[in-house]
């Protein structure tokens, strides 16, 4: 599995995922289950691989062998 999610992107995905998952504990009723959407950005941030990026041919990782 190749990585296609870069450093800043990964950090933001993890923060967003944890924030959305916290809705499970904050909200009441059926609205709280919307917090499960946070699993998608959390998992993609932790693994460094986004399936949507793969389908679209995108990557936020720095290019290998790139010189400044």
- At residue 68, the pLDDT reads 44
Nearest to 12 by CA among 53, 52, 60: 60
pLDDT, tens digit only, all 68 positions of the chain: 789 999 999 999 999 999 999 999 999 999 999 999 999 999 999 999 999 999 999 999 887 654 54
- At residue 2, the pLDDT reads 84
Whole-prediction pTM = 0.85
**Three-state DSSP string of the chain:** CCCCCCHHHHHHHHHHHHHHHCHHHHCCHHHHHHHHHHHHHHHHHHHCCCHHHHHHCCCCCCCCCCCC
Domain limits of the chain?
7-56
């Amino acid at each position: 599995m190749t990585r296609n999610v870069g450093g800043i992107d990964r950090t933001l995905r993890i923060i967003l995922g944890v924030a959305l998952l916290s809705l499970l504990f904050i909200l009441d009723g059926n609205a709280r289950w919307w917090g499960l959407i946070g699993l998608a950005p959390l998992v993609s941030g932790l693994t460094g691989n986004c399936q949507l990026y793969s389908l679209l041919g995108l990557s936020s990782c720095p290019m290998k062998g790139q010189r400044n």
